[in-house]
A and B are shown apart, each in its own frame.
Chain A
């Protein structure tokens, strides 16, 4: 155990994530809609000691009910459309959708007009964030998600200032 923990300390010392940190957190739920497993490997790698996404408040959660962001990978096979829509429906609002990898974004070389595909993601769900790459590496995934976090925060702040503005709710009440 001692050696294991020492090894981990060593790995953490050379953390290479160069993206600027952001305050806040995002709960992520991943859905594989027909990927080659490359995006899954890289998303899982984002939690390894070299990247450690959790220290930026990016947490992968077990259920769409707990999630702010739906991270979708793969070219959206026809057999995954229904489960994907169910997962999306289960999310609380406000919710965001991210296309992770070239297949979900819709720029993968191999994904043609196969009958078994319903994608890319934008044909099935509204897309808020596109993370291209085949597969995108953990650092690119982290950078894109941290940008999304900043943007989402600004949007929430703008919404809040609008709804809290001291304007009368009913113009008729003024008279």
Chain B
């Protein structure tokens, strides 16, 4: 094997699983934190006799999974090491009954107690009052409950209550064959369906020591970028709607429609459903279709560019974006924010640049000139990423595409596989634990799941009527988080 080949094998090697004793749990995590490992997710499993808790950490392109059993039902908390683990620990408590020593108060996440005091942050002072919104909203959007504590119009605090859409998809996937489990990850969310499906497929392949061939990598990258294209167009349309600028909103909605029609022509589905499979790809695009698709993408690109320029010079839009919903770089790092929202706050991280299982090559994340972390910066990031996506798509559609497959890496099977994939909203982590080819545990931690706490953080100190705009600048899925 050549030196280059060996490097690829090393890059594709599965995550290292470190089994630690419960009393060493916190110390080991602390050690990783000091060595610069980043928190990617924490999940519990029911285990044979006692629950187990695993924590996924990443540095560069490598992943470590720290895993421990919880014989007493209580484990030391990680919230002070990684604040991003707060939501994960609440979920582990609500579903698997694991308690976390030092996580006080451990507020319910999946449970919905009727007393607001049980799940909201207490706020005291002169005349604060609460505004409750949802779960049903006025527009055509998903269900979730927001409780604002405000003085006048200023937001002092926002408490989120999600999981109204909890369908139990992760539990429903348990016991299915690995190939059948994919649908549960994919249908968790329509707008991130490809990302979730690719993350699941890669987690399975990593566990089974399989490597994708060139066609498979190309097909999946193409699908991921097609998904990003229609999502980013949709998000720009949503931001325009957030400031009441109907011409911009409708023009980008029309571009999104064109992108979705292209999806339909290439894969037979407007949301690319059913285009991803475990260990194979049935996606075929002939020379003629690829050329037509490239032509259409160039036309969409031209439209996007000229409309984007119009929006840049529409003063009534731009004046409403700057300084609204600021998320500082420190807050973004502290909360473990991912995706375009993190890049808008000056964190130049993109999982696409460390994805050896995909065909991104020498990918560099975008950097905005003014990473101010406000709505304007998140708006700019989307514009820059659209350029990147269109260039990638043009490259990927150069020539025909045939079916893809996997080859064995020659290693032994591993019972746990993890994978990270960049969705239009940020890094999505999928962990698949299997036994004899059946799913034992499926865990999906999507970009939306990671970023919801940042919405609450960015909303503070802003005006209540600006919240729809702030929310739309993140444009997170509820379905992705609730599963």
Do the beta carbons of B164 and A80 come within 8 Å of each other? Answer: yes
Do the beta carbons of A114 and B310 come within 8 Å of each other? Answer: no
Do the beta carbons of B171 and A45 come within 8 Å of each other? Answer: no
Do the beta carbons of A4 and B143 come within 8 Å of each other? Answer: no
Do the beta carbons of B247 and A4 come within 8 Å of each other? Answer: yes
Q: Does A1 count as interface, using CB distance less than 8 angstroms?
A: yes
Contacts of A41 in B (CB 8 A): 190-191, 234, 271
Q: Does B183 count as interface, using CB distance less than 8 angstroms?
A: yes
- Taking the closest CB of chain B, its distance from the CB of A16, in whole angstroms, is 10
Do the beta carbons of A7 and B307 come within 8 Å of each other? Answer: yes
Known A1-B247, A83-B136, A115-B168; contact A7-B314, beta-carbon cutoff 8 A: no
Mask for A100-115, Cβ within 8 A of B = 1, else 0? 0000000001111011
Contacts of A10-42 to chain B: CB distance below 8 A: 11, 30-38, 40-42
Kindly specify which of A71-79, A122-130, A150-158, A160-168 makes contact with the partner chain.
A71-79
Do the beta carbons of B164 and A3 come within 8 Å of each other? Answer: no
Contacts of A5 in B (CB 8 A): 247
Contacts of A50 in B (CB 8 A): 254, 257
Contacts of B183 in A (CB 8 A): 109-110
Q: Does B25 count as interface, using CB distance less than 8 angstroms?
A: no
Do the beta carbons of A43 and B140 come within 8 Å of each other? Answer: yes
- Taking the closest CB of chain A, its distance from the CB of B143, in whole angstroms, is 5
Q: How far is the CA of A35 from the CA of B141 in the complex (A)?
A: 10
Partner of B478 from the list A3, A11, A37, A43 (CB cut-off 8 Å) is: A37
Mask for B36-74, Cβ within 8 A of A = 1, else 0? 000000000000000000000000000000000000000
Contacts of A112 in B (CB 8 A): 172
Contacts of A83 in B (CB 8 A): 135-136, 143, 164
Do the beta carbons of A35 and B307 come within 8 Å of each other? Answer: no
Contacts of A80 in B (CB 8 A): 135, 143, 164-165
- Taking the closest CB of chain A, its distance from the CB of B140, in whole angstroms, is 5
Do the beta carbons of B168 and A32 come within 8 Å of each other? Answer: no
Do the beta carbons of B271 and A116 come within 8 Å of each other? Answer: no
Interface size band for B: 35 or more
Tell me the total A-B contact number using a CB cutoff of 8 A.
137
Known A3-B307, A34-B167, A41-B271; contact A63-B135, beta-carbon cutoff 8 A: no
- Taking the closest CB of chain A, its distance from the CB of B315, in whole angstroms, is 10
Q: Does A132 count as interface, using CB distance less than 8 angstroms?
A: no
Q: Does B187 count as interface, using CB distance less than 8 angstroms?
A: yes
Contacts of A32 in B (CB 8 A): 136, 141-143, 165
Partner of A134 from the list B248, B273, B480 (CB cut-off 8 Å) is: B273
Q: Does B2 count as interface, using CB distance less than 8 angstroms?
A: no
Do the beta carbons of A37 and B270 come within 8 Å of each other? Answer: no
Give A residues with C-beta under 8 Å from B. 1, 3-5, 7-8, 11, 30-38, 40-45, 47-50, 60, 62-63, 74-75, 77, 79-80, 83, 87, 109-112, 114-117, 134-135, 137
Q: A-B pairs with the 7 shortest C-beta distances?
A: A38-B190, A62-B138, A48-B253, A11-B254, A116-B168, A114-B168, A4-B247
21 CB contacts below 8 A, A to B, read A1-B314, A3-B307, A7-B303, A11-B250, A31-B143, A33-B143, A36-B188, A37-B190, A37-B191, A37-B478, A38-B190, A45-B253, A45-B256, A62-B138, A75-B167, A80-B135, A83-B143, A87-B136, A109-B183, A116-B168, A135-B190
